[in-house]
Amino acid sequence: MAAGVGVAALVGNLGQYALSYAAGGPPIKIGVLHSLSGTMAISEVSLRDVVLMAVEEINKAGGVMGRPVEAKVVDPASNWDLFAEKAKQLLLEDKVSVVFGCWTSVSRKSVLPVFEKNNGLLFYPVQYEGEECSRNVFYTGAAVNQQAAPAVEYLMSPEGGGYKKFYLLGTDYVYPRTTNKILRAMLLAKGVPAANIGEEYTPFHHQDYQTICGTIKKFAAGGGAAVIRTINGDSNVPFYKEFGNQGLRAEDAPIMAFSVAEDELRGMDTSALVGHLAAWNYYQSVDTPQNKKFVANFKAYCKKNNLPDGENRVTDDPIEAAYFGVYVWKQAVEKAGSIEVDKVRKAVYGQKFLAPGGQIMMDEANQHTHKPVLIGEILKNGQFKTIWRSKGLVKPEPWSEYTNPEKGCDWINHQGTYQKK
């Protein structure tokens, strides 16, 4: 009997598949390229989940151009070389029309030659260091001028505490090093002496922060110091724990984070984190009708699919950026009337979408996203209280005015990166 029910269900599903195939054509294949294991799984699993939720929503609403969307999920396992292999598999073997994926900049740099050589299309959902202007990537996360730079400017302002010393601490790879290169140039340009800027890096999966936190404690002893941290992955947990163990509090030296959001806080004891800060473009606590619906839908989706933590799951900035990226792609495909990469790319320029956190807009030339900037304070429940917000959307600048003032990014009037006059 059970077998009979299974066969009946299968036949029913095949019938629905045949109808959808006849109505709008075969499924449109998309790729999902996120680490489901390894050091970055703590952050990337949820991006896979929300992309699949968006696909389910789109299919329930009739698909894209009347065609169902079929997601091909792969696990590059936090292995940067494997990212390139999996990207090649998605584009050349699975023949996907678009890929949603990557978190770290080293993973994005690894796949970039694959997308550029094969004219693939990648939607990248995480804040990054800039200094990139690829024809084959749409960046739905923030550039430095939409997160790191305004965060440090806030700390320097009277409103943010008027801090005069900054300890730059990150994981040893391209995003933290490049971001901190830009921040150091900005701090020096604003009159902060080099002696008041500390800088240090640790490897991926680093666990022992005792010595580093001791150094920070000495650095902050005279007051007026803040920590700018770009630690990524599972090293976040031991760093915050050791920071608290050494008696350091937000009142002594606030930590401003660019890579810790609600999803990472979900697995931490937040008692030692209260009062510390993070800069993002979205928080789960953003009070909009569409965000309340988005948060409820994500929790329900995770529960329905028996995903870990189920309805206790949270949303955060990269999750939102991954989610609206799927819808921006959908809108562009329907505007172009095609899934061809070159046609879709042109159709993305200037697209607007009412994202959970508010309306966003794709830039009309540089393939980045106009977004608001929010600075939030960590609460005991692992959520953020917004304490500062930009006025309107901030235009993305892939090339920083502090390190590359002569460079711009424009795929309409130029061939990508160009020299400003």
DSSP codes joined into one string, 106-152: HHHHHHHHHHHHHT--EEE-S--------TTEEE-S--GGGTHHHHH
- Per-residue model confidence (pLDDT) at position 21: 47
Which domains are seen in the chain, by residue range? Answer: 28-142+287-370 (3.40.50.2300)
Q: How many helices (H) and strands (E) does the chain have?
A: 12, 17
Give the Cβ contact number of residue 15 at 10 Å: 10
Mean predicted confidence (pLDDT) in 195-223: 96
Mean predicted confidence (pLDDT) in 251-273: 90
In this predicted structure, the answer to whether residue 2 has a pLDDT above a threshold of 60 is no
Phi, psi torsion values for 256, nearest 5 degrees:
-105, 115
Phi, psi torsion values for 279, nearest 5 degrees:
-115, 125
Contact 377, 144 (CB under 8 A): no
Q: What is the mean pLDDT of the chain?
A: 93
Q: 187-191 contacts: CB < 8 A, separation 24 or more?
A: 187/152, 189/402, 190/156
| 170 DSSP 8-state letter | E
| CA 54 to chain CA mean position, Å | 16
- Per-residue model confidence (pLDDT) at position 421: 83
- Distance, in Å, from the CA atom of 393 to the CA atom of 371, rounded to the nearest integer, reads 5
Output the pTM of the full model.
0.92
- Per-residue model confidence (pLDDT) at position 15: 45
Contact 220, 254 (CB under 8 A): no
Q: Which of residues 81 and 16 earns the better pLDDT score? A: 81
- Distance, in Å, from the CA atom of 334 to the CA atom of 168, rounded to the nearest integer, reads 44
Mean predicted confidence (pLDDT) in 228-245: 91
Radius of gyration, CA atoms only, the chain: 22
Residue 294, token pair as written in the block? 């988005």
- What are the tens digits of pLDDT across the range 82-138? 999 999 999 999 999 999 999 999 999 999 999 999 999 999 999 999 999 999 999
- Distance, in Å, from the CA atom of 284 to the CA atom of 219, rounded to the nearest integer, reads 33
- Per-residue model confidence (pLDDT) at position 17: 46
